[in-house]
Structure 1
Amino acid sequence: MSVYEGTGPLEKWILDRYYAILSEFEGKTFGSKDIELFLGKDSNLRLDNISEFLSTLSKERLVTVVKVGAKNTKLYKINRITNCIEVSKGTTKDQIIRILKTGADLIRGRVDYRVLLVLLFYKALSDRWMAEVRKFYQETQDWKAAYHLANISKYYLYDENTEKLHNWDEATKDKINLMQNFITSLNQISEMNPKLADIKLLVSKLGLTSFVNHPDNVHTFMDLINLFSKINVEDADYDVLGSAYEWILSYFAQSIAKAGEIFTPREVIQMMIEILDIRPDSDILDPASGSGSMLIEAHKYVSKKYKDGKTLKLEGQEFNDINTPLSKINLLMHGIENYVIHLGDSLTGPKFKKTDFIISNPPWNLDGYDERKVNVEGLKDIYNLGFTNKQSADWLWIQLMLHNLRKKAAIILDNGALFRGGKEQNIRKNLIENYDLLEAIILLPEKLFYNTGAPGAILIFNKEKELKRHKKVLFINASLDFEKHPEVRKLNALSEQNIKKIVQTYNDFKEEEGFSKIVDYETLKQKEYNFNVTLYAFPKTVREEINIRQEWSELAKKEKELSQLEKKIEGFLEEVGI
């Protein structure tokens, strides 16, 4: 199998000109002079250095030299991007990711990158549905009956009123009406399946409709369709699909960060879930569910450890009207259907009830949620520890989750929430004086998150504390426990060993000099309810043992060598008369 990966992302100026010459020269041979004349007709496409442009296309195998003439002049032919990619049967995660990388290059700067998620989901949905159709056809020898049974078994991709198929292959087979048929099929699937009703919203919100309808994007869209048509994922493991889906989110995490959204590294989520040790038949909530990753990892954990993930009730709420449907698709791509995701503001309009476990990374320092916004009927009982200032809702999130908690919660907050004064300090005071819920605080290393270099901290709350943990908090300083991120140079990551150490320390509720410290509530009171981890557990500084006699001997030796060198230099200078 050969797979084209290219040497890196193609810049938009290259893609624009590539598609322009594709329209003109596909199936023909041409030289650099032909390209110069053609692009020169349009001031927006004109280039000063045609050789550099053709050299780039050649490196990416988008043009091929077919003949070298007199004076080394070259004739080229142009290749379609998708023709450079071959995928063998039994598509793997790496192959899907290569497809997604190429797709990302194609749409860069043209449309929201998240349309790739919609395309991947539609292709996977269609492949799995058609596998069901073929299975039922073997039994019935009747295609319409097979379509009907597949509708009941999976999702409705066959409109039984119009007798029209809306799977991927049917939507893309007519190249002349491709754009219209594709959008129509997506919208129809959305209307026929209540659980997929948000697809229609995504098609509109992500700009897919306007992208498809723009004449300049005809070739790009056709290449996208050809690209995804190369993969068949009917037999792919759900984890393969889900991992590919999450790869897109992580690949663009830096651009998400610039928009203020948070992408939580998977290893951090996995550590939080190990600490919670979520059990089968549990309710799990994330009131700031984002892409749904927290809920997905919880399902994976219970499925792997207890072989019983389907007994969970997964619930989330998300304020962003694009993230909400995308999180549902993410869950489905992982083969998870036991979920409910609400759209809305959790702080002012929570749509969930009490739950066993809560795991969340809410927006840090969310502003605009002061007393005037939340001191209203229906919310007063939730925020009974006190109101926050307008600059940060961190401790409102904590109160919201504690109000709806039955057992344990793991919540990531900005490190500053642990020690800021004023109203936040008063909330921490009320928490310690009135409840015995706070069990542990884990200071994370810096540079784990794409959107901030700040370290962040995980707060563990437990309504079923063991007796030995009553009125005590375990502070864990894991700020130095990390490895360099394997892919992003400026980031750090938690290794398996790092996670094991942190989880074991929490489980054993033990102290280790410079790493963990058990602090009783009376001490916290004396420290004026300052939860700053470094106040209680400060990493040991490694003292370097110095052998004074040996160091002095080495210094004397160096000085002797320097003296000899100076004498040599003086001798050279005398010889040349200086």
Structure 2
Amino acid sequence: QDISQKSSNLLRLNLILNNLVHSLNNVVQGNTILSPAHKDASGRLKKFDFIVSNPPFKLDFSDFRDQLEGEENRERFFAGIPKIKAKDTDKMEIYQLFIQHILFSLKENGKAAIVLPTGFITAQSGIDKKIREHLVENKMLAGVVSMPSNIFATTGTNVSILFIDKANKDEVVLIDASGLGEKIKDGKNQKTVLSRAEEQKICNTFTHKQAVEDFSVVVSYDEIKAKNYSLSAGQYFEVKIDYVDISVDEFAQKMAGFSADLDKLFTESAELEKEIKEKLQTLKFNESVINSSK
């Protein structure tokens, strides 16, 4: 289901080209959030095994926002509905509604992949935080991959891919792929392109739940709770401190050098302070300048 007529028609064409004509009736043009069309025989929203989504991040939905607050949507939008902004209504976080709708539409062991703004994975409060708490408390995460900036040529927004697996009660994979890719020009925009090897690295690391230094971590749900439900891989990386072995004499020499440098700086500071005071004492009030300006 897509609100865009153009996107809906392109999807129908794609199905025809891929010999999936039998699925044409599943394509519906309409408002997924306000009027979800895929329902079962009893009129309830259908549940799916797999969902893949790249929802709009921010969009003005102030014209139908209040219609979503009915009792029939309370369970679907469990974490809340974004408020109407006094200014910039086109920046309302509609992606938060899509995440909740997707979670509600998954079967008991369903899986989903959702492209989201990276800010979602670390937000300290609000709807984003409530959704992450729900994912962790109900143990339905597979992992998160934080992508490089400009992975989409049309936007500079940093994005992450949230992988949901309602059957995964064990460890979660968090990957920081922000350092990968090559920046190239795409028309007037700059885009980051991943090589095949980099794509394979991400896939293998995620699939095999590998911990790679400064790239990925494998964490438990309890560890995520302890980090305030953060899904950013970087917050779990081990902080490395490099120690250098030196002798007692070398240490004494370094300290003597630091002390000498400080003495020099203190002396220069005192001389500068003295010079400033002397300059201030030479300043005189010139009454003739004031009279001539009247």
With normalisation by structure 1, the TM-score equals: 0.35
Q: Taking structure 1 as reference, are residues 479 and 539 closer, same or farther at Cα in structure 2, changes over 3 Å only?
A: farther
- 1:510 paired with 2:210, answer yes
Given candidates 398, 403, 424, the residue that maps to 2:128 is: 424
> Tell me, what secondary structure is at the counterpart of 1:343?
coil
Residue 358 (structure 1) shift? 0.6
Q: Taking structure 1 as reference, are residues 486 and 424 closer, same or farther at Cα in structure 2, changes over 3 Å only?
A: closer
> Tell me, what secondary structure is at the counterpart of 1:322?
helix
Alignment of 1:27-46 (within 5 A): none
Distance 1:354 1:338 in 2: 20
Distance 2:94 2:75 in 1: 17
Residue equivalent to 1:319: 3
- 1:381 paired with 2:75, answer yes
Residue 487 (structure 1) shift? 5.8
Residue 399 (structure 1) shift? 1.4
The structure with the greater share of residues assigned to strand is 2
- 1:363 paired with 2:47, answer no
Q: Report if aligned partners of 1:319, 1:344 keep a CA contact under 8 Å in 2.
A: yes
Q: RMSD across aligned C-alpha pairs, in angstroms?
A: 2.6
Q: Report if aligned partners of 2:145, 2:160 keep a CA contact under 8 Å in 1.
A: yes
Alignment of 1:254-293 (within 5 A): none
Residue equivalent to 2:219: 519
Alignment of 1:390-469 (within 5 A): 390=84, 391-406=92-107, 407-420=110-123, 421-433=125-137, 435-465=138-168
Given candidates 460, 472, 475, the residue that maps to 2:174 is: 475
- 1:501 paired with 2:225, answer no
Aligned pairs, number: 219
- 1:348 paired with 2:34, answer yes
1:361-410 C-alpha deviation (Å, 9 max, x unpaired): 00013343697342214322212243334421222211111111122111
Residue 413 (structure 1) shift? 0.5
With normalisation by structure 2, the TM-score equals: 0.67
Distance 2:148 2:57 in 1: 16
Residue 323 (structure 1) shift? 2.2
Distance 1:414 1:348 in 2: 22
Distance 1:536 1:371 in 2: 37
Residue 530 (structure 1) shift? 2.6
Gapped runs of 5+ residues in structure 2?
39-45, 85-91, 241-294
Q: Report if aligned partners of 1:477, 1:539 keep a CA contact under 8 Å in 2.
A: no
What amino acid does structure 2 have at the position aligned with 1:452? Answer: T
Q: Which runs of 4+ in 1 moved over 4 A?
A: 485-489, 537-540
Distance 2:239 2:151 in 1: 19
Distance 1:464 1:423 in 2: 24
The percentage of aligned residue pairs carrying the same residue is 29
What amino acid does structure 2 have at the position aligned with 1:479? Answer: S
Residue 532 (structure 1) shift? 3.1
Q: Taking structure 1 as reference, are residues 382 and 414 closer, same or farther at Cα in structure 2, changes over 3 Å only?
A: same
Residue equivalent to 1:333: 17
Distance 1:538 1:321 in 2: 49
Residue equivalent to 1:212: none
What amino acid does structure 1 have at the position aligned with 2:219? Answer: V
What amino acid does structure 2 have at the position aligned with 1:346? Answer: T
What amino acid does structure 2 have at the position aligned with 1:364? Answer: F
Q: Report if aligned partners of 2:217, 2:233 keep a CA contact under 8 Å in 1.
A: no
Residue 513 (structure 1) shift? 0.9
Residue 510 (structure 1) shift? 1.6
Q: Taking structure 1 as reference, are residues 523 and 388 closer, same or farther at Cα in structure 2, changes over 3 Å only?
A: farther
Q: Taking structure 1 as reference, are residues 328 and 538 closer, same or farther at Cα in structure 2, changes over 3 Å only?
A: farther
> Tell me, what secondary structure is at the counterpart of 1:439?
strand
Q: Taking structure 1 as reference, are residues 423 and 402 closer, same or farther at Cα in structure 2, changes over 3 Å only?
A: closer
Distance 1:450 1:405 in 2: 31
Distance 1:332 1:419 in 2: 41
